[in-house]
């Protein structure tokens, strides 16, 4: 079993829809949770990060972390064709900086149809 599971999609939605992207994980030591967006043939771009449980909002994007269920989500409101990309969740444990590797999900390919 992978430490981080993410539905690869593809997910196709009409413009203006609310998009929900999700990851589950197995390592309860994870404390930092991140969402990256990756356009085709480009490097991943950090969208948001959250420490521990709770919600975080940034414009049209909302990240949610439920540590009790080991489940994280990214919601995109009023989705636009420019949001079409692969969305990667990533996690990091928090051993005082002793380990610093990000564990990534495999990514969900999102297509927003105009």
Partner 1 sequence: DSGVTQTPKHLITATGQRVTLRCSPRSGDLSVYWYQQSLDQGLQFLIQYYNGEERAKGNILERFSAQQFPDLHSELNLSSLELGDSALYFCASSVEVGGTEAFFGQGTRLTVV
Q: How far is the CB of 89 from partner 1 (least distance, A)?
A: 11
Q: CB nearer to partner 1: give 33 or 112.
A: 33
- Contacts with partner 1 in 57-86 (CB under 8 A)? none
**99 makes contact with partner 1 (CB under 8 A):** yes
Distances (CA, A) of 16 to 45, 78, 105, 113: 22, 4, 26, 9
**14 makes contact with partner 1 (CB under 8 A):** no
Question: Would you say 31 and 95 are in contact if contact means Cβ atoms under 8 Å apart?
Answer: no
Distance between CA atoms of 28 and 85, rounded to whole angstroms?
29
**1 makes contact with partner 1 (CB under 8 A):** no
Exactly one of 21, 65, 74, 88 binds partner 1 (CB under 8 A); that residue is 88
Q: How far is the CB of 36 from partner 1 (least distance, A)?
A: 8
Distance between CA atoms of 35 and 38, rounded to whole angstroms?
10
Distance between CA atoms of 33 and 69, rounded to whole angstroms?
14
**32 makes contact with partner 1 (CB under 8 A):** yes
* Candidates 12-20, 28-36, 60-68, 77-85; binding stretch for partner 1 (CB under 8 A): 28-36
């Amino acid at each position: 079993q992978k430490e981080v599971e993410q539905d690869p999609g593809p997910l196709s939605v009409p413009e203006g829809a609310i998009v929900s992207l999700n990851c589950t994980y197995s390592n309860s030591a994870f404390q930092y949770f991140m969402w990256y967006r990756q356009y085709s043939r480009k490097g991943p771009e950090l969208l948001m990060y959250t420490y521990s449980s709770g919600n975080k909002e940034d414009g049209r994007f909302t990240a949610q972390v439920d540590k009790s269920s080991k489940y994280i989500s990214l919601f995109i409101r009023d989705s636009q064709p420019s949001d079409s990309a692969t969305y990667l969740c990533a996690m990091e444990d928090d051993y005082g900086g002793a380990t610093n590797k990000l564990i990534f999900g495999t990514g969900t390919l999102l297509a927003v149809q105009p």
